[in-house]
Structure 1
Amino acid sequence: MTRKTSDFPQRNTRLPPQEPRLWNWAQNAPLADKKQILQPESERHLCELVAATSGKLRVMGSRMSPGRMLALSNANDRLIDTSRLRGLISHDADSATFAGGTPLHEVYELLTAMGRMLPASPGVIDSQTLAGALATGTHGQGLYQSSIGDEALRIRMVLADGSVEEFDRQHPWFHAVQLGLGCLGVVTAVTLRTRPSAVYTCFKNAVSGDSLAEDLLEWNRNYALSKAWWFPDENQVHVWAAREATDEERAQYHANHGDPLIQQETSDAMNQTIDQTLEHMRNDTQIRDENGKPFRTVTRFKDFSDVTGDVYQVFCRGIATPQINVEIAIPLARAGAVIARIKRWHAENQPHLHYPVILRCTGASESWLSPAWQRESCFFGFVVYYAEDGSLSAEGMAFLHEVEKLLAEEGGRPHWGKYFDADLYDWSSLYPQMAAFREVREALDPQHKFSNAFSQRLLG
């Protein structure tokens, strides 16, 4: 089966200085003519703009998602830029309210300054907006937490008619609004649970992939937070497992003026594996800059050491670089069987990977459209980097197609903010609450003002 080119579009590396169109962050999809962008100054201004718009509306944050989530179809459609609707609105002893357009790194910085943190672990990239993170189901790592949206207590939205409504946890539609795909309204404020800041010690190790299925469960049951990178070519796994720091470790961290405390003793156990991975990447991408972002995402695994710091210092370590990223959530109970299937497929086909398979587990989510809805889940992540000219290797695309097909057969649910082949999934079967979500959408947006081609196909 040939992959549709629209699923994995080529990156435009030569946009002219006066490009009239706005593109997504990866520059692989045009979203709208720049004249179609609305930039409200306040919630009241936003209400006026929404009420006055006759065409379709989509909401953009950091434009990190594939183009299908945001792209407009007609000249009278509009794209809402929420970058001016940001910042801390209020806070109390156990919660904080942020404007929807606040980037996650600002959320984390403001909370840290207050001695607070979210109960949910962060993702590796923190440039998304808070509303965008909720809309796509952004999550971290660790079975004892789930998505960022699961920490929401109240969500305030501007609806299709320009009115404002607030949804709290007692509202019957709250679990639809928690992850609304941008189809229900414009999120202007989110109240999040907070807890006192904690310090973690993250232990890093390199182990064999022979017992990965069993080890994955052990890491996630025994540690507060855990993440693993699996290199099938070398049958090796790099694992981070973090627990809250001891009194002595916290004292050492604070004596270091709150900067991450990196152990001096390092391990070179991953160095040979990383060198081989880098060679595959060079051959596929023809990128020669050894300090380029794609290479830095991999070389950081060399000469690794344990670290003590707050949760954002430890886990927000991602390097944003244009890529095709596929991430599928599998029921945790099926993770071992899926790992075995990938091992067999890999042994038969021997694909060369730009990046290891990323394994992050989360607890069950309450959001109706969350990939982790009502089940502990393991998210399998796969990355292929763009070549210097914006193209993608045929081998890399074939690998992504085959592995996604395999995970879809296992009941996988794709991450909404990443790349996937919609034809592989029976959405109503995967999401038993899909019909209820459609009813909420009909009530809040009966004219489907907040839709585009993708959402209309998904929701009907």
Structure 2
Amino acid sequence: MAITQLTYPHQEPELTGEDIRLRNWARNSRLGLPGSVVAPATEAELCDFLSTSDGRVRMIGSRMSPGRMIEVADGAGTLLDLSRLSGLISSTEDTATFAGSTSLAEVYAFLTARGQMLDASPGVIAEQTLAGALSTGTHGQGLQQSSIAGAALAIRMVLADGTVAEFDHDHPDFPAVQLGLGSLGVITAVTLRARESMIYTCVKKAVDAGTLETDLETWNRENILVKAWWFPQENQVQVWTANEASDDEVSRYRAGGSQLVEYATTDTSMNSTIEATLQHLRDDSKGVADNGKSLRTVSRFRDFTDVTGDIYQVFCKGIATPQINVEIGIPLARAGAVIRTIKDWHAETRPRMHYPVILRCTGASEGWLSPSNGQDTCYFGFVVYYAADGSLSEEGSSFLRAVERALAEEGGRPHWGKYFDESLYDWPALYPQWEAFRRVRETLDPEHRFANAFTDALLD
């Protein structure tokens, strides 16, 4: 398959009024034309709109995906703003049903107040909508769970003709609906499995990356939740391993009002590494963007300490700032070989990196289009930040293109909600149920009303 020279979009740094609403979160893509946004207040209004109108439709959610995922075809069509269809719908002792546009932060807050958590660890950014997180495969870390969609017991959708369809876990099409790329229908309700909240103690260490090839799987097999950040230029890794807190640690946590406990002893061993990465970012940024948030995402690795808290307090700590983020899932069994490849490539090219390589592993997913479908998976994440003028450094862009090619050659599956070069992938070969998904799409949306140029090329 031919490899194209992927060009990452530059950002429009200053936008006002409706133009902000018509751009994605990173402000690097226009989603539709002025006047194209429709915002139904109820599911009934949504049904009425779809049944009495025609033309292409896309859902904008929190707009955190690349623009090509959200934008309507050729700028024409309707953008559905479903922000008024949010909040808790109902709950039982061990389930909670939320409207699709409910933010993950609201989901987590409701469960935390009940002393519960999802049966899936969170991604770092809680501003995402629940429907968007399912539709793109948002995931956390830990081999005992997979993507957030794995916690879904039932999903309700409004179809292209305005009818309502419900899919429970036993429905034959459920694995397609779990991760549908916004191409099957409008998710209006999701029933999630909840369980008693566990309090974790997260131990943070700085380790040498010399044996990372074998250490990564060992860490993940021996601990409940693991997240690692690899700084290749300094041959260091900051690794977080989280396990159930001891009785004494839980007592201290409760005595403090169930607020995150940060222990007094801090580790400064990575501070020089962090400063070197920050210097690369400052040099390439030509003036930092977004009020310096990019610098804060890196500086948080300084002076780290162990903590005790619930899963959201420990892991849901992301700082949302526009960036180009490439994330590729690799079968865990091949992760060591990929790490060796990156080490060799890095030693030869010495690229300037704005952020460490993010390493998160999950268990297998049932979702047909999940990058972790059918296999334990290690996700390799790479980030390049925008400069204040909306540009990207050429070295950073070249780094992302090169590393994606290397991972694609290893059978990698890209995260749908991030940036990737689709020309690198043979989708039917990567996803055993690719044709089954396409058949479900033809049944639920035979006229491809929820398609745009990107999904048309992907699925047709």
- TM bucket normalised to smaller: over 0.9
The structural deviation recorded for 1:390 is: 0.5
2:437 corresponding residue in structure 1: 437
2:458 corresponding residue in structure 1: 458
For residues 255-286 of structure 1, what are the alpha-carbon distances to aligned partners after superposition, in whole Å with 9 as ceiling and x for unaligned? 01011000011010110000100111110002
2:258 corresponding residue in structure 1: 258
For residues 98-125 of structure 1, what are the alpha-carbon distances to aligned partners after superposition, in whole Å with 9 as ceiling and x for unaligned? 1000000000001111111101000011
In structure 1, C-alpha distance between the alignment counterparts of 2:276 and 2:295, rounded to whole Å: 12
Change in Cα spacing, 1:74 to 1:283, as seen in structure 2 (3 Å) is closer
**Equivalent residue runs for 1:220-369 within 5 Å:** 220-287=220-287, 292-369=292-369
In structure 1, C-alpha distance between the alignment counterparts of 2:124 and 2:23, rounded to whole Å: 23
Counterpart secondary structure, 1:329: strand
In structure 2, C-alpha distance between the alignment counterparts of 1:177 and 1:111, rounded to whole Å: 24
Gaps of 5+ in 2: none
Q: Could you list the runs of 4 or more consecutive aligned residues of structure 1 that deviate by over 2 angstroms after TM superposition?
A: 1-5, 14-21, 73-76, 287-291
**Equivalent residue runs for 1:129-148 within 5 Å:** 129-148=129-148
In structure 1, C-alpha distance between the alignment counterparts of 2:51 and 2:148, rounded to whole Å: 30
The structural deviation recorded for 1:388 is: 1.1
Read off the aligned partner of 2:386 and give its amino acid letter: Y
CA RMSD of aligned residues (A): 1.4
1:96 paired to 2:103: no
In structure 2, C-alpha distance between the alignment counterparts of 1:312 and 1:123, rounded to whole Å: 9
Counterpart secondary structure, 1:392: coil
For residues 379-432 of structure 1, what are the alpha-carbon distances to aligned partners after superposition, in whole Å with 9 as ceiling and x for unaligned? 000000001110000000000000000000000000000000000000010011
The structural deviation recorded for 1:4 is: 2.9
Read off the aligned partner of 1:240 and give its amino acid letter: W
1:4 paired to 2:6: yes
The structural deviation recorded for 1:76 is: 5.1
The structural deviation recorded for 1:33 is: 2.0
Read off the aligned partner of 2:404 and give its amino acid letter: E
The structural deviation recorded for 1:230 is: 0.2
Change in Cα spacing, 1:22 to 1:113, as seen in structure 2 (3 Å) is same
Counterpart secondary structure, 1:194: strand
State whether residues 20 and 33 of structure 1, in contact with CA within 8 Å, keep that contact through their aligned partners in structure 2.
Answer: no
**Equivalent residue runs for 1:13-412 within 5 Å:** 13-17=13-17, 19=19, 22-74=22-74, 77-287=77-287, 292-412=292-412
In structure 2, C-alpha distance between the alignment counterparts of 1:207 and 1:75, rounded to whole Å: 49
The structural deviation recorded for 1:290 is: 11
Counterpart secondary structure, 1:361: strand
TM-score (norm 2): 0.98
Read off the aligned partner of 2:68 and give its amino acid letter: R
In structure 2, C-alpha distance between the alignment counterparts of 1:20 and 1:54, rounded to whole Å: 26
Aligned residues: 458
State whether residues 37 and 80 of structure 1, in contact with CA within 8 Å, keep that contact through their aligned partners in structure 2.
Answer: yes
In structure 2, C-alpha distance between the alignment counterparts of 1:17 and 1:131, rounded to whole Å: 26
Read off the aligned partner of 2:122 and give its amino acid letter: P
For residues 210-243 of structure 1, what are the alpha-carbon distances to aligned partners after superposition, in whole Å with 9 as ceiling and x for unaligned? 0111111111111110000000000000001000
State whether residues 289 and 388 of structure 2, in contact with CA within 8 Å, keep that contact through their aligned partners in structure 1.
Answer: no
Counterpart secondary structure, 2:59: strand
The structural deviation recorded for 1:18 is: 5.9
Counterpart secondary structure, 2:359: strand
Change in Cα spacing, 1:375 to 1:99, as seen in structure 2 (3 Å) is same
In structure 2, C-alpha distance between the alignment counterparts of 1:268 and 1:444, rounded to whole Å: 55
The structural deviation recorded for 1:287 is: 2.3
The structural deviation recorded for 1:170 is: 1.2
For residues 97-152 of structure 1, what are the alpha-carbon distances to aligned partners after superposition, in whole Å with 9 as ceiling and x for unaligned? 01000000000001111111101000011100000000000000011110000111
In structure 2, C-alpha distance between the alignment counterparts of 1:34 and 1:372, rounded to whole Å: 38
In structure 2, C-alpha distance between the alignment counterparts of 1:27 and 1:83, rounded to whole Å: 19
In structure 1, C-alpha distance between the alignment counterparts of 2:193 and 2:274, rounded to whole Å: 39
The structural deviation recorded for 1:16 is: 4.5
Counterpart secondary structure, 1:406: helix
In structure 2, C-alpha distance between the alignment counterparts of 1:322 and 1:252, rounded to whole Å: 37
In structure 1, C-alpha distance between the alignment counterparts of 2:406 and 2:188, rounded to whole Å: 38
Counterpart secondary structure, 1:201: strand
State whether residues 332 and 376 of structure 1, in contact with CA within 8 Å, keep that contact through their aligned partners in structure 2.
Answer: yes
The structural deviation recorded for 1:74 is: 4.7
The structural deviation recorded for 1:288 is: 5.4
In structure 1, C-alpha distance between the alignment counterparts of 2:343 and 2:4, rounded to whole Å: 23
The structural deviation recorded for 1:2 is: 6.6
In structure 1, C-alpha distance between the alignment counterparts of 2:76 and 2:48, rounded to whole Å: 16
Change in Cα spacing, 1:288 to 1:403, as seen in structure 2 (3 Å) is closer
In structure 1, C-alpha distance between the alignment counterparts of 2:444 and 2:288, rounded to whole Å: 51
In structure 2, C-alpha distance between the alignment counterparts of 1:245 and 1:144, rounded to whole Å: 17
In structure 2, C-alpha distance between the alignment counterparts of 1:18 and 1:142, rounded to whole Å: 40
Change in Cα spacing, 1:353 to 1:113, as seen in structure 2 (3 Å) is same
Counterpart secondary structure, 1:441: helix
In structure 1, C-alpha distance between the alignment counterparts of 2:440 and 2:119, rounded to whole Å: 28
State whether residues 137 and 148 of structure 2, in contact with CA within 8 Å, keep that contact through their aligned partners in structure 1.
Answer: yes
In structure 2, C-alpha distance between the alignment counterparts of 1:76 and 1:361, rounded to whole Å: 39
State whether residues 21 and 30 of structure 1, in contact with CA within 8 Å, keep that contact through their aligned partners in structure 2.
Answer: no
The structural deviation recorded for 1:19 is: 3.5
Counterpart secondary structure, 1:233: helix
State whether residues 21 and 34 of structure 1, in contact with CA within 8 Å, keep that contact through their aligned partners in structure 2.
Answer: no
For residues 290-320 of structure 1, what are the alpha-carbon distances to aligned partners after superposition, in whole Å with 9 as ceiling and x for unaligned? 9710000010100000000000000011100
1:448 corresponding residue in structure 2: 448
Counterpart secondary structure, 2:22: strand
Identity %: 61
Counterpart secondary structure, 1:416: coil
In structure 2, C-alpha distance between the alignment counterparts of 1:250 and 1:156, rounded to whole Å: 38
Change in Cα spacing, 1:188 to 1:232, as seen in structure 2 (3 Å) is same
Change in Cα spacing, 1:365 to 1:40, as seen in structure 2 (3 Å) is same
**Equivalent residue runs for 1:416-427 within 5 Å:** 416-427=416-427
TM-score (norm 1): 0.98
